[in-house]
């Protein structure tokens, strides 16, 4: 028997022993699990043999070994490090842990909707930590006639749940019991607590990220049900995240916020959040954040949640792991191997600690390898460019949302982090991306471009398309089952490839033709008083157009201006009109 075969047999034995040790847990599907783990172990062995030899006693004092491992640590660890860092940053300056931040305006360069936000979406953002609470209740509004996706991600940036129009269409509000990997409810599809039945959404990690996208039409009149004000009031504000005790004490009904506005961070908040705003340039700082992530949210075991369940029995709101064919496994299960590989750097399930036998040479090697990993990932991203076969669009519809637990999967996952943080699974979203014209150079605002959509030439189907717009499938009520949009971004190499909408994107007057009624102008204080617009909320840097009479107060007609400071809202006591 070859050494590789012996390895596979040993793994099968260990898996069944683990099954016997776990009370009331089945070894069901052990051969399937063993095959998965054996494959991952072989990849681990191949990776180890590719590294320079290390001294058995020290494990990693050889600078060449440290550099190679540090590069691997960056490529693998960017995902969990990002969730840990981003959650710390957001919960310091925005909504606290286990709460939602409600987006009132579409994503734009001047607001914190989300990284690489979509300009046709209102976002709700929240981070959930089951080390702080045993269970939460998420209440969502009806989804049959209003498109939304609740993308639920674990600490390793794998999508574990999708709740919304595609997976859970409903005509009434629905409540889900959110639990962590150690909850007694984690292995249930539904749970009845004190007479009330919940759908159960279990996570495989303690720390989780919930990003909710709600479609909104920025061109619709305010009175239209799809307009930004209507969607914000009638859909966004109907999401609620409560503790189980809150929900039960309110008669098994959600408790909604009394104020949906996102808090304004104080100077102290901004200072406390600053170390977590960007990926660290220092390798030790990165490893410490990664270690905090791994310690707080251990890599899932094969028993996590509904692991072992047949896919046909999986609830529609639970997302299978990448490549699932018969049985469900927690998507992040199987990364123990890479953690073992990185142990000589001082990274273990207990966090990160600089090895005691290291000196300046080893720390320099760690930093060099960290930067090498960044270069490798940059090369991977640029090497997966578009070509003439896709009309120079990069189209991600595989290995996205959930990722294989191997080198390719870690590379794609980290590339997604650099290009926006997280991604939905392909069934919920496909992200065509274009950065250059005909593959020759960066798109440039000094040029004018046109985009043409054509229906598939050989589909043979009757599509709701005329060659002008991409086709959309309608549901039984005649409403689109999804949406598409075009968003213009400003590249920014400091954090992600596409962090915000470009300021220039609003210069197209067809984007918004709203005239803002000016009530008075005070030239001495540079203050202009306007009626509160129906098309959305005015904030600092909001783009505003003024109509033909703009010259009366020293402005140019049909020209975009930007609000220079935080506006003050005033309600007239007599008319109840807001200015």
- Report the run of H or E that residue 76 belongs to, with start and end: helix 63-93
Beta-carbon contacts of residue 194 (< 8 Å; ≥ 6 apart):
248, 252
Task: Kindly state whether residue 105 falls inside one of the protein's structural domains.
Answer: yes
HEC assignment per residue over 14-39: HHHHHHHHCCCCCCCCHHHHHHHHHH
In a domain, 303, yes or no: no
Q: List the one residue out of 381, 406, 407 whose CA is nearest residue 396.
A: 381
Closest CA to 497 of 566, 547, 434, 408: 434
Answer for the pair 579, 568: CB distance below 8 angstroms, yes or no.
no
- The pairing of strands 543-545 and 527-530 is unpaired
Residue 18 sits in the same domain as residue 114: no
Tokens of 96: 């606290």
Residues 6+ positions from 24 with CB-CB distance below 8 Å: none
Whether residues 37 and 175 fall in one domain: no
Instruction: Please state, in angstroms and rounded to a whole number, the distance separating the CA atoms of residues 265 and 249.
Output: 31
pLDDT at position 541 is 72
Q: Is 439 left (phi over 0), alpha (psi -120 to 50) or beta?
A: left
Last residue of a domain, one of 50, 67, 83: 50
The answer to whether position 81 is within a domain reads no
The Cα–Cα gap between 181 and 303 comes to: 9
Indicate the DSSP class of residue 99. E
Last residue of a domain, one of 50, 66, 83: 50
Pair (43, 106) in one structural domain: no
> What is the pLDDT, as a whole number, of residue 311?
95
- Whether residue 200 sits in one domain with residue 123: yes
- On whether both 114 and 31 belong to a single domain, the answer is no
Residue 256: closest CA among 269, 268, 241: 241
- pLDDT, averaged per 10 consecutive residues of the chain (579 residues), comes to 27 26 32 43 46 45 95 97 96 95 81 77 95 96 91 97 94 96 96 96 97 86 84 96 97 95 89 92 97 97 93 96 95 94 95 94 97 94 78 84 95 90 90 81 79 66 54 71 78 51 50 68 87 74 76 81 86 87
Give the strands of the sheet with 135-140, arranged side by side: 190-193, 196-202, 174-179, 135-140, 240-243
Strand partners, 196: 193
Cα–Cα nearest to 118, from 254, 214, 20: 214
Looking at the structure, do residues 99 and 30 belong to the same domain, yes or no? Answer: no
Residue 327 lies in a domain: no
Residue after which a domain boundary falls, among 35, 50, 65? 50
Whether residue 462 lies inside any domain: the answer is no
The verdict on 46 and 99 lying in the same domain is: no
Q: Are residues 103 and 235 in the same domain?
A: yes
Q: What residue numbers bound the domain in which 100 lies? A: 95-260
Tokens 């098994």 — which residue?
A: 252
Pair (134, 250) in one structural domain: yes
Q: Which helix (H) or strand (E) holds 243?
A: strand 240-243
The strand pairing partners of 451, in sequence order, are none
Q: Residue 342 has what pLDDT? A: 96
Whether residue 106 is found in the same domain as residue 214: yes
How far is the CA of 274 from the CAs of 118, 141, 193, 218, in angstroms?
25, 35, 42, 33
Q: Which tokens hold the place of 449?
A: 């471009």
Element (H, E) at 366: helix 360-383
Q: Which two tokens stand for residue 366?
A: 């760690």
**179 in any annotated domain:** yes
CA dihedral 342, 348, 353, 359 (to 10 degrees): -30
- At residue 537, the pLDDT reads 72
From CA 515, how far away is CA 512, in angstroms rounded? 9
**389 inside domain:** no
* pTM of structure: 0.81
Please count the structural domains in the chain.
Answer: 3
Within a domain: residue 126?
A: yes
Return the CATH number at 244.
2.60.40.1610
CA distances from 9 to 17, 361, 543 (A): 13, 41, 64
Number of Cβ within a 10 Å radius of residue 148 = 24
User: DSSP string of 316-345?
Assistant: TTBPPPTT-SSB---TTTT-HHHHHHHGGG
Q: Distance (Å, rounded) from C-alpha 352 to C-alpha 359?
A: 16
Q: From CA 323, how far away is CA 312, in angstroms rounded?
A: 15
325, 235 contact by CB (below 8 A): no
| Residue 564, pLDDT score | 85
**Helix or strand holding residue 175 (H, E):** strand 174-179
Task: Report the distance separating Cα 128 and Cα 114, nearest Å.
Answer: 16
- For residues 99 and 46, membership in a common domain is answered with no
Residue with tokens 């954090």: 495
Same-domain check for residues 106 and 246: yes
Map residue 128 onto helix, strand or coil.
strand
């Amino acid at each position: 028997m070859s050494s590789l075969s012996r390895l596979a047999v040993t793994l099968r034995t260990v898996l069944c022993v683990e099954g016997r040790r776990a009370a009331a847990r089945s070894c069901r599907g052990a051969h399937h699990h063993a095959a998965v783990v054996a494959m991952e172990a072989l990849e681990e062995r191949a990776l180890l043999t590719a590294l320079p030899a290390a001294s058995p006693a020290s494990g990693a004092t050889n600078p060449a070994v440290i550099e190679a491992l540090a590069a691997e640590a960056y490529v693998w660890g960017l995902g969990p490090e990002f969730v840990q860092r981003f959650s710390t940053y957001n919960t310091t300056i925005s909504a606290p842990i286990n709460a939602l931040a409600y987006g009132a305006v579409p994503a734009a360069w001047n607001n914190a909707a989300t990284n690489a936000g979509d300009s046709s979406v209102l976002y709700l953002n929240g981070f959930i930590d089951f080390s702080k609470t045993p269970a939460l209740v998420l209440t969502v509004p009806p989804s049959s006639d209003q498109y939304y996706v609740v993308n639920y991600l674990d600490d390793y940036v794998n999508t574990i749940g999708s709740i919304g129009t595609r997976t859970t269409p409903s005509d009434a509000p629905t409540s889900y019991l959110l639990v962590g990997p150690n909850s007694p409810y984690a292995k249930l599809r539904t749970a009845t607590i004190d007479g009330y039945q919940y759908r159960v959404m279990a996570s495989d990690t303690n720390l989780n990220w919930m990003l909710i996208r709600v479609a909104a039409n920025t061109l619709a009149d305010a009175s239209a049900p799809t307009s930004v004000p209507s969607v914000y009031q009638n859909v966004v504000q109907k999401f609620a995240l409560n503790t189980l005790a809150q929900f039960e004490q309110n008669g098994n009904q959600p408790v909604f916020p009394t104020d949906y506005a996102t808090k304004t961070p104080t100077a102290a908040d901004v200072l406390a959040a600053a170390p977590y705003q960007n990926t660290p340039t220092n390798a030790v700082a990165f490893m410490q954040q990664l270690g905090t992530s791994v310690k707080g949210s251990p890599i899932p075991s094969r028993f996590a949640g509904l692991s072992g369940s047949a896919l046909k029995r999986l609830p529609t709101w639970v997302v299978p792991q990448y490549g699932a064919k018969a049985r469900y496994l927690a998507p992040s299960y199987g990364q123990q191997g890479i953690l073992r590989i990185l142990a000589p750097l001082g990274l273990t399930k207990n966090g990160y600690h600089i090895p005691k036998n290291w000196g300046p040479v080893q720390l320099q090697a760690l930093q060099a390898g960290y930067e090498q990993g960044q270069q490798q990932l940059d090369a991977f991203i640029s090497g997966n460019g578009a070509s003439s076969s896709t009309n120079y669009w990069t189209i991600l519809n595989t290995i996205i949302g959930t990722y294989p637990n191997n080198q390719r999967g870690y590379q794609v996952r980290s590339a997604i982090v650099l290009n926006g943080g997280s991604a939905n699974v392909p069934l919920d979203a496909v992200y065509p991306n274009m950065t250059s014209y005909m593959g020759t150079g960066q798109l440039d605002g000094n040029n004018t471009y046109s985009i043409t959509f054509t229906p598939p030439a050989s589909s043979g189907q009757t599509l709701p398309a005329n060659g002008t717009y991409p086709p959309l499938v309608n549901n039984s009520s005649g409403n689109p089952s999804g949406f598409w949009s075009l968003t213009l971004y400003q590249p920014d190499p400091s954090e992600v490839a596409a962090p915000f909408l470009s300021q220039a994107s609003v210069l197209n007057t067809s984007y918004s033709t709203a005239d803002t009624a000016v009530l008075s102008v005070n030239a001495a204080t540079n203050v202009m008083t306007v009626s509160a617009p129906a098309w959305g909320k005015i904030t600092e840097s909001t783009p505003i157009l003024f109509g033909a009479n703009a010259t009366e107060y020293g402005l140019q007609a049909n020209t975009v201006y930007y609000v220079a400071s935080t506006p003050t809202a005033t309600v007239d006591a007599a008319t109840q009109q807001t200015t």
